[in-house]
Amino acid sequence: ARRGNNAMKICHTAADLARELAGAGRIAFVPTMGNLHEGHLALTRLAREKGDAVVASIFVNRLQFGPNEDFDRYPRTMEADRAGLERMGVDALFAPNEHEMYPVPQLYRVKPPPLGEELEGAFRPGFFDGVCTVVLKLFNLVRPQVAVFGKKDRQQLKIVRGMVQQFNLPIEIVGCETVRAEDGLALSSRNGYLTATERAEAPRLHRVLRGIADAIATGRRDYANLESDGRAELARHGWQVDYVAVRHGLGLRIPHPEAFDHPNLLIVLGAAKLGATRLIDNVDVVPMPDVD
């Protein structure tokens, strides 16, 4: 039965959640770390189309933060998040505390493939081990039939999808288009860290990636030059660039200009810091279906 009309149930323990979801039908799951914005709400909207009951989770996962990253100052806005999810007709919110998720130190970890050490993984060592480990735990606690992830974290979407395939988890992974501000900036909880001046500069990341994608669409094949020009343009405007990378949209492998990598299948990813804030984004050369 389609739900979404009753008051949202908040579950702090897995046992509570299991009770709530008994007989709920096809469960569509939206895992988050909270501080929800329109991008997250779009995930819940898509989840509503995919399942009978929608479950969101809020858990700031220490395991995926590096020692010098923003775990402690990551924004925690439970009351606003709860109201937003309720407005979206989410049926249950799973909001475990750290002890519920990690009652003892987490000694077993998921080890992602080498792709997990590239791009984001090269600059955030252990990030995808932490993501995959918590996502697998969340999947086992929520037991969804469908889970929705944002395409802004394109590498995360790809790696989670690969984990589900290789561990034979009976879960359909659905990617949701990135939601952008009017000036193109991808919505992100970390945008809240930006000063007014930085916020005005921030859309350049998307513009640079879009510019590279458009250059590829009109025939450029010198990907390395496009990448280094993109990095230089960001650096000129005060960004500290981690990467600007043209990749194959399906496997995220490096395309070879000589080989036949159809340019329509390429995507452009970037990560760079503006002041203390690290932003990531990616664009498709041409919009592509959500398959891998």
Q: Please report, as ranges, the residues that interact with ligand PAF according to CB under 6 A.
A: 31-33, 61, 64, 131, 134-135, 153, 156
Q: Considering beta carbons, is residue 63 or 234 the nearer one to ligand PAF?
A: 63
For the chain, the distance separating the N- and C-terminal CA atoms, rounded to the nearest angstrom, is: 30
Q: How far is the CB of 129 from ligand PAF (least distance, A)?
A: 12
Q: Considering beta carbons, is residue 132 or 234 the nearer one to ligand PAF?
A: 132
Q: Considering beta carbons, is residue 64 or 277 the nearer one to ligand PAF?
A: 64
**Segment holding 99, helix H or strand E:** helix 98-101
Look up tokens 């009351």; give the residue: 79
Asked if 171 and 178 count as a contact pair (C-beta separation under 8 A), the reply is no
Distance, CA of 59 to CA of 126 (rounded, Å): 18
Encoded tokens for 221:
């094949």
Q: How far is the CB of 131 from ligand PAF (least distance, A)?
A: 5
The CA–CA distances, whole Å, from 172 to 52, 137, 148, 163 equal 14, 16, 9, 12
Q: How far is the CB of 225 from ligand PAF (least distance, A)?
A: 32
Q: How far is the CB of 136 from ligand PAF (least distance, A)?
A: 10
Q: Considering beta carbons, is residue 153 or 261 the nearer one to ligand PAF?
A: 153
**Segment holding 149, helix H or strand E:** strand 146-150
Written as one letter, the residue type at 138 is: L
Which of 59, 52, 58 has the alpha carbon at shortest distance from 91? 52
Q: Considering beta carbons, is residue 188 or 194 the nearer one to ligand PAF?
A: 188
Q: Considering beta carbons, is residue 178 or 255 the nearer one to ligand PAF?
A: 178
Q: How far is the CB of 271 from ligand PAF (least distance, A)?
A: 14
DSSP 221-261: --HHHHHHHHHHHHHHTT-EEEEEEEEETTT-PPP-SSS--
Helix orientation angle between 127-142 and 14-21, rounded to the nearest 10 degrees:
50
Which of 7, 173, 178, 174 has the alpha carbon at shortest distance from 90? 7
Residues labelled as active-site residues: 40
Q: How far is the CB of 61 from ligand PAF (least distance, A)?
A: 4
Asked if 4 and 54 count as a contact pair (C-beta separation under 8 A), the reply is yes
Asked if 119 and 144 count as a contact pair (C-beta separation under 8 A), the reply is no
